[in-house]
Every structure is written in C-alpha cells, then in structure tokens.
Chain A
Amino acid sequence: MFVYLSCVVLLLVGIYCVAVKKNLIKIIIGIGIMEYAVNLFLVILGYRQGGTAPIIQPGAANPILVDPLPQALVLTAIVIGLATTAMMVAIAMRIYNCYGTFDITKIRKLKG
C-alpha cells in the first residue's frame, strides 16, 4: 500500500506544481514529475516478490520473472515524456525570446 500511495503522492506533487506555479520551466518540471509518477506506478504494478529481470538465461533453471508487459508500456511512456518535454522546452524558449521572461503572469496576452 505504501508503495502505491507514494506514487499517488508524487503524482499530486506534479499536479500541484502545474496548477499553482507561474513559471514556464516550473510547469515543465511539474509535468515531468507527473510522468515519473505514472511510470513508477506501472513498474510497481508489474513487480513480483523475489522476481528478476524478464530476460531468459539459456540453460538456467526457471527463476521467477517480473511482469514484462508494464515495462514495455513504460518504455513507450518514457519516449512520450521525452517528446512532450522537447516540445515544451522549444515553445518556452521561443516565448522567452519574445517576452524576455518565463513568468506567465507577465506574458498573458490572450484574453480569458
């Protein structure tokens, strides 16, 4: 239970950061933390007591292997995270170039 809950706490720290912080880089960091939390959660879901990595050693006795499917999913999720981070940094850099700041309270040109 503790491990599951700590993932949720990590997710909530990320949500809090995105919702409250006023700095573009802080928002990027918040989203990064949320992604870590979900990736961690998936891998924890796939862990088996006393399990080893899901790589078969030819000839060796059959050990307990952990669930490989969540790992495959997380691999994809990591790539998606990298992709969004790259996009966000690119946009943030352009915005910095236009306004000279990362503070969203100063760059809000669009009306609500």
Chain B
Amino acid sequence: MSLIVKTVTRVTIGIIFLFGGYIVAHGHLTPGGGFAGGVILALAYVLYVLAYGEKETRERLSMKWASIIESLGGLLFLFLAVLGLAGGYFFLNVLPKGTPGDIFSAGIIPLCNLAIMFKVGAGLFAVFLVLVTFRVAARKEEEE
C-alpha cells in the first residue's frame, strides 16, 4: 500500500484503539460493552493487516500471543464467574457495587467486559489473520 495509506492508518489506529477502550470501560454506563469494544480492537488490527500486509502485522502481534491472550481472557471471565462461589453462588456479583455512574461501579460487570474484550479482540484477530494467511499459503502451493 502507498505511503499515504500507511500514514493515515497509523494515525487512525490509535484513535480506533482509544475508542474501543472507551466503549469497553463505559460498557456498564453507556451503550457498548466488551463485545463491541473487542470487535473494534480487532478491526483496528484488520485495518493494519490491510494497510501493511500480514507479515508486518505478525511482528506486532503474533498468532501465538493472540491465542494466549484469547485463552487468558476466557479464563479470566470464568474465574470471575467462579469467584461468585465465594458468596455462595456461581456467577454471583460479589464485588462492591459502588456509586452508580462511576467507572468503578457495578461489581464484576466492568471486569467481565474487560475479559470479554481481550477474548473477542484476540480471537477475531486470529481468525482474520488465519483467513489471510491461508490464502497466501494456498496461492504459494498453486504456484509451485
């Protein structure tokens, strides 16, 4: 891709990341949440792949790390669910609820959003990357 595309991408990706983070952090206050935010983060990486190519993206976030982050996100979510057992029930919202309207309120909800964000973002990024890589690998096979 041309230099203009690359430069614009570099600038916009920062903004997209910030927006995704905002959506996740305010998931319990405003529309959005972990899932939407995670997809937005994945889209930022998709943009990066489209502008810079698959190879350069892998240097930023390799498949291995994407998969590890995804698993850890899942485990964190499950841990929050099991944490409820401390209060007697699976998935009980055990953390203090705080003042409604604050970022740190609503107990486990923001933490769950965070876990989902990691999981969804890394997972969808991995899917997209493997779809692209598969095309590249398949084309190489054909040429040989």
Taking Cβ atoms with an 8 Å cutoff, the residues of A that contact B are 53, 55-56, 58, 75, 79, 86, 89-90, 93-94, 97
CB <8 Å contact, B138 and A55:
no
Kindly state the separation between the CA atoms of A94 and B135 in the bound complex, as whole angstroms.
9
Kindly state the separation between the CA atoms of A53 and B127 in the bound complex, as whole angstroms.
33
Taking Cβ atoms with an 8 Å cutoff, the residues of B that contact A are 29-31, 33, 35, 100-101, 127, 131, 134-135, 138
Q: Summarize A's interface: helix, strand, loop or mixed.
A: helix
CB <8 Å contact, A90 and B35:
no
Beyond contacts A90-B131, A93-B131: 5 other A-B pairs, Cβ-Cβ < 8 A, are A55-B29, A79-B35, A90-B127, A93-B134, A97-B138
CB <8 Å contact, B35 and A55:
no
Minimum Cβ distance to chain B for residue A89 (Å): 7
CB <8 Å contact, B135 and A93:
yes
Nearest CB to that of A53 among chain B residues? B31
User: Which 5 residue pairs spanning A and B have beta carbons closest together?
Assistant: A97-B138, A58-B101, A86-B127, A58-B100, A79-B35
Kindly state the separation between the CA atoms of A84 and B94 in the bound complex, as whole angstroms.
34
Kindly state the separation between the CA atoms of A94 and B138 in the bound complex, as whole angstroms.
9
CB <8 Å contact, B131 and A89:
yes
Chain A residue numbers with a CB within 8 Å of B29 are: 55
CB <8 Å contact, B131 and A55:
no
Kindly state the separation between the CA atoms of A86 and B128 in the bound complex, as whole angstroms.
9
Chain A residue numbers with a CB within 8 Å of B127 are: 86, 90
B30 partner, pick from A55, A89, A94, A97, beta carbons under 8 A: A55
Nearest CB to that of B36 among chain A residues? A75
Minimum Cβ distance to chain A for residue B83 (Å): 22
Chain B residue numbers with a CB within 8 Å of A75 are: 33, 35
Chain B residue numbers with a CB within 8 Å of A55 are: 29-31
Minimum Cβ distance to chain A for residue B124 (Å): 8
A-B contact pairs, 21 of them (CB 8 A): A53-B31, A55-B29, A55-B30, A55-B31, A56-B100, A58-B100, A58-B101, A75-B33, A75-B35, A79-B35, A86-B127, A89-B131, A90-B127, A90-B131, A90-B134, A93-B131, A93-B134, A93-B135, A94-B134, A97-B134, A97-B138
